[in-house]
Amino acid sequence: MPAAAATMVSSAGGLLAMLNESHPQLKYHALSNLISFVDQFWPEISTSVPIIESLYEDEEFGQQQRQLAALLVSKVFYYLGELNDSLSYALGAGPLFDVSEDSDYVHTLLSKAIDEYVSLRSKAAESSDEAAKVDSMLEAIVERMLDKCIMDEKYQQAMGIAIECRRLDKLEEAITRSDNVHGTLAYCINASHSFVYRREYRQDVLRLLVKVYGKLPSPDYLSICQCLMFLYEPEGVANILEKLLRSENKEDALYAFQIAFDLVENEHQAFLLNVRDCLSAPKSLPSESVQPGSSSPAHAQNENSTAPEDVQMTNGSSAIHEADPKEVMYAERLTKIKGILSGEASIQLTLQFLFSCNKSDLLILKTIKQSLEMRNSVCHSATIYANAIMHAGTTVDTFLRDNLDWLSRATNWAKFSATAGLGVIHRGHLQQGRSLMAPYLPQGGAGGGSPYSEGGALYALGLIHANHGEGIKQFLRDSLSGTNVEVIQHGACLGLGLAALGTADEDIYDDIKSVLYTDSAVAGEAAGIGMGLLMVGTATEKASEMLAYAHETQHEKIIRGLALGIALTVYGREEEADTLIEQMTRDQDPILRYGGMYALALAYRGTANNKAIRQLLHFAVSDVSDDVRRTAVLALGFVLYSEPEQTPRIVSLLSESYNPHVRYGAALAVGISCAGTGLSKAISLLEPLTSDVVDFVRQGALIAMAMVMVQINEACDSRVGTFRRQLEKIILDKHEDTMSKMGAILAAGILDAGGRNVTIRLLSKTKHDKVTAVVGLAVFSQFWYWYPLIYFVSLSFSTTAFMGLNYDLKVPKFELLSHAKPSLFEYPKPTTAPTTTSAVKLPTAVLSTSAKAKARAKKEAEQKANAEKSTGPESSSAAANTGKGKSSSEKDGEAMQVDNPPEKKSEPEPSFEMLTNPARVVPAQEKFIKFLEDSRYVPVKSAPSGFVLLGDLCPNEPEVLSLTDSPTSASSPAGGSAAGQQSSSSAMAVDDEPQPPQAFEYTS
């Protein structure tokens, strides 16, 4: 008997023979036995598949027997690796194919079935005719699978499959039945952004999500509004905002502000303006009969402008007018939210932050300046660019002021760039931008200044007002129409494009077009770009007009400008842009093909769309023009920026190409898509390229490396330090090529961009693309042909700060915890030994001690703050008085250092750090940020960076503000602004509204 237990069949031959028996019962017996042995004997059975197939097709055979035969064949095909056949027979097996069975066979076939279903559904959806009929059996299997997922509470799987299969009904079911609706919704939004490639369908999904959100008892308005923005439905957002604003509850108003800030972060100017206009005006006073239903935007706006004044009046004497307090409150909130939506609030706060926390290292610039040869104008202007980038948005132009003589060597276009650089430095200085630039602007007909500085000034105005050009548009238009000088036209076109980014303003378009039709190479190029900027993402008809002119003109510069402009118009339109892309990429003219690459890059920006990647790779290796190949590779960076980890892998082969243009493109692609991530793989890929044999590849690699490493310090990745030393070496090396030297200088600028407080970020925190940033980088990459376009990189800078705001949109004292070693994320140390001392570490020391103190007693904190407030101006003025320039600040630093070192050196590095609002929070640090539980303020949403509204738990106590708005009259003289700024930032409490620097004149 024990021997018998081991008896096993050695062959399926007997059973297979039995299949040929004439008696149906014998066949059935054979089939059912074969099914149980198929795992073992499939090689034997596979030779008899035709017999089993014929059994399946035998009409006289019983239904169940036939299904059994189908299942058997399906299993054999599965083992043979013929999944398609296997699936079709499994479908024939009907109910015998058990979805819930836990076997490799079932798992494989299920995924195959789902894939098949997905491809059929999407094909059906794309061809839009119902001809593509989906097999009902297949549908049944997938539905069974979906139901099973929902039953087993595997909602994420169910949602994933439902989205892929375009079964919105099932998606809704999965979401509503899940236990954590908010969580699943958030997951779903993420999924739809990262995995749904077709734009239209994505919008369908989002619409459904909004619907589901709307049905919830406590809707998550933040997410709804994000969805609505993707759908471009300003009315919906406006309705929600209005509802929140009209609420009695202060929390709701804070919430509305938060929504507004989040929307602003995505930089969708046209949409924001629309939302603003859709917000209805307050019914100012019940007694005064304002025309009811004033819904027309123009009208609404008029009223808004008067509303605040009304409110103030009624506030003062409410008894007289008997104003409805609700309306008063609404009106007050409305002005605030409009301020936010217009971007002014965030821009102003950012500006203050960048100014007060500026940590740029002038010594680096000084070294660069000294090491350069006198006559090399390329490096000279590169230094000016680097300075502008380093101080982008900080309003600190000390370096320029200190080196007026040196600066005056810039002539012609270099002068244009030097002037435009001021625009970068003062970026966002909306109120005083115009007066700042006044000395250089064209003086109505007088024609005193050089056209180069005038043109540069107009470009600078555009940079200052980039994407928020409401106030400056008209002036720029007037300047454009008032001149015939092509240099000024050039500047004005760029400026207008920047200021009116994406607004699709017809009048401006016509103005620029008339410049284009003068067929002047210099002005025409800028006009082409300007038109594109104006029409960003509108997929306008005008593209064909531009294309026609591009064919007509003889000037390469104009064609190039237009090509880029056309590419800009299809920004983010994905499939919609395909015809245009096709048209451009098939063109005879390499410049237009090159524009086609940009069109691909921008239309599919951040989608990681496989089709686009495939197309780009194809052009990267097959086009005859080096320019097109370079651009194609570079464009990969734009398509992939949402998945930076992928880029190094995809371009790694290209980076070893024999063609230097392709290598250059690969370097920049990595730089663009991995910007600000400090991704280790990206750095490894770029490292060898920084010592390439070809000079321009070195240039590209250095710039790309700087983009990747921006805001990463040596403690995070030691290679950052190596890279900094490498840059220094290249700059100091007399025999280095000009090209790579220029790259190194620019890289040094980008590495410390914006006073070391900004990073390059192409995605907002909600994973939406930042239009301005992407467009900025795209135009920046044109610097290959035209250096002044380097300044566009400043559009992609985003401040890395946590800014908590109270109900009045002021920055109160508030602390948060960074649960990581401070050294990991601190500012890089200043370059030379004497300055290393305390300037950097001092703030942390003050912070940690004061933090403990504050945790103990709030009142003490207030006193301390007051003390700081009072000492702040003193120290700044004292510092200002001691002298000007570097030496004084060094002394200052040393003097301050005396207090701290003993205690600092003795204690080991703490594992956490207290940050004070507003705080610098670099991207890598975000995951370590925690809010303190017992704080006075509670954030509306727990975001680790960006603008966060804070709810006040003790509204009656006086608040202590960090960044004060009111500009103080006692300002330090411009010459000593560096010193003053340093000391005030170390105090971290008070600072002054940046003063308009005095004009300086070129002495050319």
Partner 1 sequence: MDLKEVSQQFERFKAAFVKNDFDTCANLLSQLKVLLTKFRSLPPLFENTPNAVNELLLAREIYEHAVVLSVKIEDQDAFERDFFQLKPYYTDVGSRLPPSKQEYLILGLNLLRLLVQNRIAEFHTELELLSATALENPCIKHAVELEQSFMEGAYNRVLTARQTAPHETYVYFMDLLAKTVRDEIAGCSEKAYDYLSINDARQMLLFSSDQELLEYVKEEHPEWEVKNGSVIFQKAKESTPCKEIPSLQLINQTLSYARELERIV
746-785 residues near partner 1, rule: CB under 8 A = none
Contact between 689 and partner 1 by CB under 8 A: the answer reads no
By beta-carbon proximity to partner 1, the closer residue of 159 and 620 is 620
Going by the DSSP 8-state scheme, the letter that residue 769 receives in this structure is B
Stretch that binds partner 1, among 111-119, 139-147, 603-611, 648-656 (CB under 8 A): 648-656
Give the binding range for partner 1 (CB under 8 A) out of 26-34, 57-65, 198-206, 929-937: 26-34
**Smallest distance, Å, CB 25 to partner 1?**
5
The least distance separating partner 1 from the CB of residue 59, rounded to whole angstroms, comes to: 22
Angle between helices 199-215 and 181-195 (to 10 degrees): 170
- The answer to the question of residue 870 lying near partner 1 (CB under 8 A) is no
Judge contact between 109 and 78, C-beta under 8 A: yes
Sign for the CA dihedral angle at 567, 569, 572, 578 comes to: negative
The vertex-612 CA angle with 651 and 573, nearest 5°, equals: 130
Least CB distance to partner 1 at residue 657 (A): 4
- Candidates 485, 405, 404; CA nearest to 449 is 485
Query: 325, 487, 497, 498: which is closest to 414 by C-alpha?
Result: 487
Residue 289, interface with partner 1 (CB under 8 A)? no
Using the rule CB under 8 A, give the single segment among 22-30, 223-231, 340-348, 859-867 that binds partner 1: 22-30
Among 174, 654, 811, 948, binds partner 1 (CB under 8 A): 654
- Cα separation of 615 and 612, whole Å? 5
Of the pair 407, 640, the CB lying nearest partner 1 is at 640
Q: Choose one: 17-25, 561-569, 720-728, 740-748; the region binding partner 1 (CB under 8 A).
A: 17-25
Least distance (Å) between residue 782 CB and partner 1: 24
- CA distances to 60, 86, 106, 265, 507 from 36, rounded to whole Å, are 24, 17, 15, 61, 77
Site string for partner 1, 184-203 (x = CB under 8 A): --------------------
Is residue 366 part of the contact set for partner 1 (CB under 8 A)? no
Within residues 74-133, the interface with partner 1 by CB under 8 A covers none
Q: Residue from 437, 620, 803, 919 that binds partner 1 (CB under 8 A)?
A: 620
Q: Considering only 95-103, 258-266, 468-476, 616-624, which stretch makes contact with partner 1 by CB under 8 A? A: 616-624
Question: Which residue in the set 290, 653, 857, 954 belongs to the binding site for partner 1 (CB under 8 A)?
Answer: 653
Q: Does 965 bind partner 1 (CB under 8 A)?
A: no
Contact status, residue 391 vs residue 399, Cβ threshold 8 Å = yes
Is residue 18 a contact residue for partner 1 (CB under 8 A)? yes
Q: Is 290 one of the binding residues for partner 1 (CB under 8 A)? A: no
Q: With contacts defined by CB under 8 A, name the span among 3-11, 354-362, 892-900, 967-975 that binds partner 1.
A: 3-11
Is 17 among the residues that bind partner 1 (CB under 8 A)?
yes
- Residue 31 vs 461, nearer CB to partner 1: 31
Q: Closest approach of Cβ 26 to partner 1, in Å?
A: 6
Interactions with partner 1, residue window 904-933 (CB under 8 A): none
For the CB of residue 915, give the shortest distance to partner 1 in the complex, in Å: 47
- Other C-beta atoms closer than 10 Å to the C-beta of 644 total 22
CB of 605 to partner 1, least distance (A): 24
Q: By CB under 8 A, is residue 375 in contact with partner 1?
A: no
Report the candidate in 944, 931, 843, 839 with the shortest Cα–Cα distance to residue 890.
Answer: 839
CB–CB of 337/741 below 8 Å?
Answer: no
Q: In terms of CB distance, is 157 or 659 closer to partner 1?
A: 659
**Which residues make Cβ contacts (< 8 Å) with residue 946, sequence separation at least 6?**
261, 262, 265, 765, 801, 802, 803
Q: Output the CA torsion 819→823→828→829 (10° steps).
A: 150
Please identify which residue in the block is written with the tokens 């050196």.
905
Closest C-alpha to 376, from 745, 785, 726: 745
Among residue numbers 34 through 63, which ones bind partner 1 (CB under 8 A)?
37
Residue 273 host element (H or E): helix 269-278
Residue of 335, 583, 659, 971 that binds partner 1 (CB under 8 A): 659
Q: Which is nearer to partner 1, 662 or 777 (CB)?
A: 662
A 10 A CB-CB count for 798 gives: 25
Q: Is 636 in the site for partner 1 (CB under 8 A)?
A: no
Closer to partner 1 by Cβ: residue 25 or 291: 25
Near partner 1 by CB under 8 A: residue from 14, 214, 482, 688: 14
**3 touching partner 1, by CB under 8 A:** yes
Of 119, 118, 121, 114, nearest to 148 by C-alpha is 114
How far apart CA 986 and CA 843 sit, in angstroms, is: 6
What distance in Å separates the CA atoms of residue 987 and residue 842, rounded to the nearest whole number?
9
CB 809 within 8 A of CB 790: no
Separate counts of helices (H) and strands (E) for the chain: 52, 11
Shortest approach of partner 1 to residue 626 CB, angstroms? 12
Which of 597, 662, 672, 674 binds partner 1 (CB under 8 A)? It is 662
Q: What is the rounded CA–CA span in Å between residue 187 and residue 182? A: 9
Measured from the CB atom, the residue of 22 and 956 that comes closer to partner 1 is 22
In the complex with partner 1, the residue whose CB is nearer, 69 or 175, is: 69
Minimal distance, residue 57 CB to partner 1, in Å: 21
CB of 662 to partner 1, least distance (A): 6
Alpha-carbon 330 to chain mean position: 32
The total number of residues shown for the chain amounts to 1004
DSSP one-letter string for 309-377: HHHHHHHHTHHHHT--HHHHHHHHHHHHHHHHHTTHHHHHHHHHHHHHT----HHHHHHHHHHS-SS-H
Tokens 């890598």, residue located: 924
Distance between CA atoms of 428 and 502, rounded to whole angstroms? 18
Q: Which stretch binds partner 1 (CB under 8 A): 20-28, 318-326, 497-505, 987-995?
A: 20-28
Residue 23 touches partner 1, criterion: CB under 8 A: yes
Q: 1, 320, 374, 970: which one contacts partner 1 (CB under 8 A)?
A: 1
CA of 270: how far to CAs of 4, 211, 238, 470, in Å? Answer: 83, 24, 14, 11
- Closest distance to partner 1 from the beta carbon of 608 (Å): 21
The size of the interface with partner 1 (CB under 8 A), counted in residues, is 35
* 622 makes contact with partner 1 (CB under 8 A): yes
Q: CB-hemisphere CA count at 13 Å for 688? A: 9
What token pair was written down for 709? 């490493």
Q: Residue 9, interface with partner 1 (CB under 8 A)?
A: yes
Smallest gap from residue 426 Cβ to partner 1 (A): 44
Is 298 an interacting residue with respect to partner 1 (CB under 8 A)? no
Query: Which segment (11-19, 555-563, 838-846, 990-998) binds partner 1 by CB under 8 A?
Result: 11-19
In 3D space, the residue among 223, 199, 201 whose CA is nearest the CA of residue 211 turns out to be 223
- 20 touches partner 1 by CB under 8 A: yes
| Angle, vertex CA 968, rays to CA 966 and CA 970, nearest 5 | 180
Nearest CB to partner 1, comparing residues 165 and 668: 668
Q: Which listed residue (248, 658, 734, 735) binds partner 1 by CB under 8 A?
A: 658
> What does 881-925 look like in DSSP terms, one character per residue?
HH-SSHHHHHHHHHHHHTTSHHHHHHSPPPS-EEEESSEE--GGG
Of the candidate residues 342, 585, 657, 677, the single one contacting partner 1 (CB under 8 A): 657
> Would you count residue 621 as binding partner 1 (CB under 8 A)?
yes
Residues that bind partner 1 (CB under 8 A): 1, 3-5, 7-18, 20-23, 25-26, 29, 33, 37, 620-622, 653-654, 656-659, 662
